[in-house]
Amino acid sequence: MISRALLSWALLCLTVESRALLAAETQQSQILVFAAASLADALQEIGSAYERTAPVKVKLSFDASSNLARQIEAGAKAEVFFSADTQWMDYLQTRNLIQASTRQNVVANSLVLIAPADSQIKLKIGPHFPLVAALGKDGRLATGDPDSVPVGRYAHSALSTLGVWDEVSPRLARAENARVALLYVSRGEAPLGIVYATDARADKTVRVVDTFPANTHPPIVYPLALTKSAQTAASTFVAYLTGPRGHEVFSKYGFTEPAR
């Protein structure tokens, strides 16, 4: 007959083993996605929808693509990188930190000039348009930091093409990502801002003054790739994200199809 002490010991071992297996399963069932801040609304909806179809937790971390790429370079264990421009994806690819074969352009966007919803500012974007005059004496133009943040880089390119960059650059409010630039304008801290069309669409406290012509800046595309540390679960999520359901959600939030 098995002694009570031996039975207790066996049950304890079984409990410890079960907890260890559960912890391992919990760890394996989480996918960490690093994505550009402008993708937040769409990806949160896609992630929640995916979690209802699979026993997986989709953990989303949003910031400027520049910050996220540098975090991955520093050893962050993200499994998916979803950038707001090709340059930061190139940055990781040249360092052999993504699986290049999984890289794909998923969605596209456009660049807009915004103002607070109750603003009376009217401007038509064109060569040498009076942007600085519209800012007033002390007003600043909010956009991402053009030294690193994709939306700021696109803004720099557009304003340079239009011949107004040198005049307006000292008046920039340099935000750490596109959503922070949007916030500066929505709170009335900046009379004008340059953000993505999808950002403006997501915030009813701002309005679009005008849209920058596509030929004034590089195409705004969002590449996605699995990182070197990605597991099978991440690949399955990416297939869902880039499939019909994912594109349906992206379209809902105003993203468009990239040129093929």
* Longest CA span, the chain: 94
Q: What are phi and psi of 79, to 5 degrees?
A: -105, -20
Domains and CATH numbers, the chain: 4-107+222-252 (3.40.190.10), 111-211 (3.40.190.10)
Q: What is the pTM of this model?
A: 0.84
Helix (H) or strand (E) holding 35: strand 30-36
Predicted pLDDT of residue 260: 75
Predicted pLDDT of residue 144: 96
Predicted pLDDT of residue 2: 47
Smallest CA-to-CA distance from 196 within 93, 107, 69 is with: 107
Predicted pLDDT of residue 4: 55
Q: Alpha helices, DSSP H only, in the chain?
A: 4-28, 40-51, 65-73, 86-94, 131-135, 150-161, 165-168, 178-186, 197-202, 232-241, 244-252
- Which residue type occupies 215? N
pLDDT one digit per residue (tens) for the chain, 260 residues: 445 544 444 444 444 444 544 444 444 489 999 999 999 999 999 999 999 999 999 999 999 999 999 999 999 999 999 999 999 999 999 999 999 999 999 999 999 999 999 999 999 999 999 999 999 999 999 999 999 999 999 999 999 999 999 999 999 999 999 999 999 999 999 999 999 999 999 999 999 999 999 999 999 999 999 999 898 999 999 999 999 999 999 999 999 999 87
